[in-house]
Amino acid sequence: MVPREIRACANEDRLRSTPNLDRIAKAGMRFDNCFCTNSICTPSRAAILTGQYSNKNGVYTLNDRLDPNRNHVAKELQRGGYQTAMIGKWHLASDPTGFDYWNILPGQGVYHDPTFIKLGERKQYTGYCTDLIADFTLDWLKQRDPKKPFFAMCHHKAPHRPWEPGPKYKDLFNGQCVDKCPAGQQRNPANGMCVPIPASVWINRSAARSRSAI
């Protein structure tokens, strides 16, 4: 089972049960028609923050740095009186700006016993990255001023490769059969996802079937 293939909210797949996500989707708001202007990790983060294309915000690749002086959504909300926080994977080379509180992974970070940078100071923690990011976010939410609006960005490292599950989920799907790919698709051995079968493969398979029938 590959994390990126898990579907939530749109079905009731027994194997890929996501009751908490389903509850949030039912009670909140879903973006069913959302578009990404740059899908690769770092440029995507910059685009989401700034609301700008890569040629405007200057972040084109995984190694590019977001200018800390550039305006973005957290700065606008902070100026409007919001409490702001950034927790988890930042991956924009510069330190976060526009956030009252930030606690981020250095670069990609790691899944097990990760180091975080909290307001400029590094500290290693014991535990699984996803759990720690969730706990740090909840801790911040609990200590914020409930009388003021807030904007919190909770950025998980998962499901970035290498796919290393936490101890409590390591054997979650043992003994269960993962459903087959739809017709016309096959498993990508690199990541386990269903992808369209190339036309050349279809032709070769058809030719092989024809020869075997002679």
143, pLDDT greater than 60: yes
- What pLDDT is attached to residue 89? 97
CA distances from 140 to 72, 90, 136, 145, 182 (A): 21, 17, 6, 10, 43
Least confident range of 2-11, 64-73, 76-85, 105-114: 2-11
Mean local confidence (pLDDT), 147-168: 92
For this structure, is 41 an active site residue?
Answer: yes
Q: Average pLDDT, stretch 74-103? A: 98
Share of the chain above pLDDT 70, in %: 82
Task: Decide if 91 is catalytic.
Answer: yes
Per-residue pLDDT at 18:
77
Of 9, 34, 36, 91, which one is the catalytic site residue? 91
| Marked catalytic residue, from 41, 154, 181, 194 | 41
Give the domain ranges of the chain.
71-179
Can you give the pLDDT at residue 2? Answer: 38
How far apart are alpha carbons 17 and 8 in whole angstroms? 7
pTM of the model: 0.77
Residue 5 is predicted with a pLDDT of: 41
Confidence of residue 3 (pLDDT cuts 50, 70, 90): very low
**Cα–Cα distance between 170 and 158 in angstroms, integer?**
14
Q: Does 57 have pLDDT greater than 60?
A: yes
Cα gap 180→196, rounded to integer Å: 13
